[in-house]
Structures are given as structure tokens and as C-alpha cells.
Structure 1
């Protein structure tokens, strides 16, 4: 807990001067003061507001918390859905709401219908939430359904990858934290990762205890890495392996500056389409990261990292 507090204090400081977004644009404000070679340094320039979608508001999903910028300009906002993992609740991913909203996104951090839901069921709920947001009188003017990103931890990460392979509406980009990966755990989640069609980032952690439970894959992080390897073709993809920590598989439920930096950069680059975030994604390995692999054919990276 002390470590988490230190990390939060180091990255998530209160925003300073608030920059105004460009009129009529759905993109976040072009303010490079929020970015340096080490990635996002703090919350972004947008002030945020919060609403709640109650359980039962829509039969397709279980509700959650909505965060979005207060500014009236810049609407509709690119929209991110965040799904928790097996046996976890919305609170385990709630810190992504205010973080991503401060960079110009509307964010729904979700409950799953039951804590036991499979990745496929969780993805169905994310798809239902997109439809709800696009039709609801409370959100339809705020949501850009042409700029959707999906994020998840553990089973929620599998759900995001499932969306990237099969679902309609297809997200523009996904981020999966410690996905359990059908390739690693030898379970059939009906997610053909070789069919992933959008930019996908996977962030794992060294010696992930839940991945080491299978005898066949007793080597560091063998959950996120097999998922990364299984994504083929010319699709942009990136694997970031965090250094070992006491939180282990649960590193992603508390604010973490490395996780925040890569998540913000990936979603802004590929959901909002802002090339000024190429610098960080093409950059070196920051402290707290054990390994990076990437295949980024659409980015002008000078030195490509190992693909496999």
C-alpha cells in the first residue's frame, strides 16, 4: 500500500493550467506539456465529471461509473470501456476512469454481471454497454461510437482481445492487462487471437503467479506473451512486461505510473489517432519494465524491437 501511494504521488499529481480543447474536435487537447519521453507525467488537461449507471439500467450489462471531461467543446468524446477480471468488481479498475477522462475520453468502468463470467460473456456485456451509451438520452451526445477502445484486466483483458478479433462494433484499439490467454492456460475462450484486427497492447508482469500455475508454461509471464505472439499479420501490437512486484497479478488494480503511461499513450495514438504519442511508444525501456516487444508497422519507430 505504501508503494502504491508512492507511485500515485509520483505520477498522478493534480493538473496544472487547464488547456482548452480545439473547437469541434473529438480529440484531446494538443498539449505536449502532459507528455515527455517518459510518457504522461500526470493527469491530463481536462477537468472531469462523474455519473453512475445503476444496476438494471440495461439488461445487457450490469452498470458502472462514467467519467468524461466537463468541457462542452470536443464532444462527442472517444469512448473507452474498462472491464474487471474474474472474481473482481468495478472498483478494481476504477482508477482508469478519472485518468483517461483527463485526456479527453468518456470512460465507463464496468461491473460484470457476475464475478464468474467468462471472457466471452464479459465482451458481450461491453458490446451491450456501447449500444446503451449510443442510444441513451443521457450519453448519446457525449459518445463517439466511431472511436471506441476496450481495456480489461485478467478475464477482462481476454474480453478486450475477443472484441479485437470478432465483435461488432469493432474497437479501434485494445489494452489487455495480464490476460489469462487461451494459448497459455489451454482453455477455450473462443478467442482466435490470430484474427485480431485492431492495435493491441498486452501488459503482463514477471512471474505472474496465476500464469505459473500451469506446468507447461513455467517461465516468467506466460499469459500476456503468448497472446502477443498469437496476434499475426501486419497489425500493430505491443507487449510490455513489468518487473516483479509484491502485488503480482494484482498490480493493475492500483494506480501504477508505468501502466498509466502506456495505456494513455496507446489509446490516444490509436483511438484518437494522434501521432504526437509515437515518441513514447517508440522510446526506450523505462524503469519498472523488464522487457518490451513490439511490432508497430504504422509507427515511424527508428529501431524495431523483437517481434517474437
Structure 2
């Protein structure tokens, strides 16, 4: 399967980056520096974020969608995309449902994330009982289709791609990240990864655990999170009172943490860092770990 080249990352030592952030925070921001910052980041999309905007059911971009038939290595799906044509290309994320699940079960993620300035590909799997490894293979095939053959490929920046999924699909997203380190981000929601190890993970990874999940309990996901190397950006969020299929209903708790993660790592957008570093709004969250400052 072809590998996509990643946009360059500035892999400076964490202490250097943290020190730089402290110095910059002391300086009073001006309109000139803010404009320069936006000009220096060609991936930045949308207005300055607020706590209300990242939690809103609809973001600043109008969206449309297009269906994709079965084939091309995965079971089809739906692509959601911003309709704006004056913003350049957008980063993209492919998302997979879990065991015995279909995209319809988590489809609220499509328009919600796309309206924040992303192309979102919600996929169906070839079979309802596909393994996490198969989910990962299909997510990568979906990204290749999205950037190379889809009707919206001209709207997508092929160097800014990410994967996500729920349960088996979440394990598939983590598996895809292990196999394609050029990805910009990975998000596993209650992910089932049989190997139990992310020791070779180089992709910024966010893991969600559900506090009352008996299928993939938080203890297992804490152990999995701890295998991620110290050199890889990471975060762990445990959703209070939630069960395994919590993602099946629209969730502000998920949206207001997923969106900053995607903005920081897919769009290199430092405007979203304060929403996670530190996590000031802990409503609905029982545990939070991170590798802040998430540069």
C-alpha cells in the first residue's frame, strides 16, 4: 500500500519547546504578531477558537457529503467536507466503527468534525466482525482512496491525514498508526488492540477510556497508554460514567477534546493548545493524562 509523505514536524527537544512557550507567553501579543502567526501557518483554518466554539454542535464551515460504494479495499462509506473553496485544502481523518457496528452508529461525528474544517471519511468495513488489523488496513485504504481517487480529492491535503475509530475500529486506528508513522494523529475510542502495545508508536495518539466499560476497561487502556514512547505526543481521557458504546450518541465531552487534538496535530494550530494544556474544563472527565505542552 503506498505511503504518503508527512508534512515536516519540528522535532525539537521538549524542554527547549517548553522554554520557548514560556518566553512567548510573557510577551504581550499584538495584532501584528497574531497576523504573522497565521501567515506562517498555512494549515490554519477558521476563526480563533473559544470554549463555546469547540463545544458547539456546528462549527464555522458549511458542509456537504458524498457517498462512497463498497470496494477499493474497504466497505464504502460517507465523506463529509467543508464547502468553502477559498481556504485551500483541508486535513482529513478516516473513522471506523467497531465490531458489528456500522458508520450509522457514530455518524454524528461526520458533520460535526467537518464543520470545524476537516474532511471526514466515515467508513464501513468489509465484514461486521473484521479484526482490528483488518480495520487498520481498511482505514489506510480509505485514506488512499480519499486522496487519490475520490471526487473530493482536490479538497484534501494528502500530507495531513489522521485515523480514528471505536472499539475494534479504535484498535484498527492504532494499528494503522503503527504501520504508517507519516500520519499526523490517531484517536482510539475504547480501542481494542490485541497486542496491548504501542511501544513503536510515532504518531500523536489520543486514547479515550469509558469509566464503566466492562469490554475494554480503563485499566487495560491505562496500561496500553503507558506503552507509548515518551518521545510521542499522547493523551488519555477517561469519560465519567460512560459505557463502551458511549460514542453512539452526540457528545460534547468527546467533541471538545477531539477537535483540539485534531487541530493541534493535523493543522499545526497552536491556538487550540490551551484547551488541552492544561485541561481546564474537566466536566464529564474522570481521568486525564497528557504529554503537554503537545507541540
Instruction: Identify the TM-score tier after normalising by the shorter chain.
Output: 0.7 to 0.9
Question: Number of residue pairs matched?
Answer: 256
Q: Does 1:268 align with 2:268?
A: no
Partner SS for 1:145: strand
Equivalent-residue separation in structure 1 for 2:171 and 2:122 (angstroms) = 16
1:201 counterpart (203, 206, 209): 206
Q: How much does 1:137 deviate? A: 5.6
Q: Going by fraction, where is helix more abundant, 1 or 2?
A: 2
Q: How much does 1:29 deviate? A: 1.1
Equivalent-residue separation in structure 1 for 2:287 and 2:248 (angstroms) = 21
Equivalent-residue separation in structure 2 for 1:284 and 1:53 (angstroms) = 39
Q: How much does 1:231 deviate? A: 0.6
Change over 3 Å in CA distance of 1:53–1:38 after alignment to 2: closer
**Residue 286 of structure 1: aligned partner:** 282
Deviations, residues 138-188 of structure 1 (Å, cap 9, x unaligned) = 1221111100011110011111111222226x3101111001233xxxxx4
Partner SS for 1:210: coil
Give the TM-score normalised by structure 1: 0.78
Report runs of 4+ in structure 1 exceeding 4 Å deviation. Answer: 22-26
Q: How much does 1:123 deviate? A: 0.9
CA contact (8 A) 2:43 2:268 kept: no
CA contact (8 A) 2:172 2:193 kept: no
**CA RMSD for the aligned pairs?**
2.1
Q: Matches of residues 18-57 of structure 1 in structure 2 within 5 Å?
A: 25-32=42-49, 35-36=50-51, 39-56=54-71
Q: Does 1:296 align with 2:289?
A: no
Equivalent-residue separation in structure 2 for 1:207 and 1:139 (angstroms) = 39
Change over 3 Å in CA distance of 1:297–1:27 after alignment to 2: closer
CA contact (8 A) 1:27 1:104 kept: no
Deviations, residues 79-112 of structure 1 (Å, cap 9, x unaligned) = 1100111111111221111011101101100101
Deviations, residues 38-94 of structure 1 (Å, cap 9, x unaligned) = 9534421000101100123x2x11110110011112232101100111111111221
Unaligned runs of 5+ in 1: 1-21, 183-187, 213-220, 300-308
Change over 3 Å in CA distance of 1:195–1:50 after alignment to 2: same
1:223 counterpart (220, 234, 252): 220
CA contact (8 A) 2:102 2:124 kept: yes
Unaligned runs of 5+ in 2: 1-37
Q: How much does 1:297 deviate? A: 4.8
Give the TM-score normalised by structure 2: 0.81
Equivalent-residue separation in structure 2 for 1:162 and 1:108 (angstroms) = 18
Change over 3 Å in CA distance of 1:150–1:297 after alignment to 2: same
**Residue 28 of structure 2: aligned partner:** none
CA contact (8 A) 1:37 1:279 kept: no
**Residue 188 of structure 2: aligned partner:** 176
CA contact (8 A) 1:235 1:297 kept: no
Q: Matches of residues 126-165 of structure 1 in structure 2 within 5 Å?
A: 126-136=139-149, 138-165=151-178
Q: How much does 1:26 deviate? A: 4.3
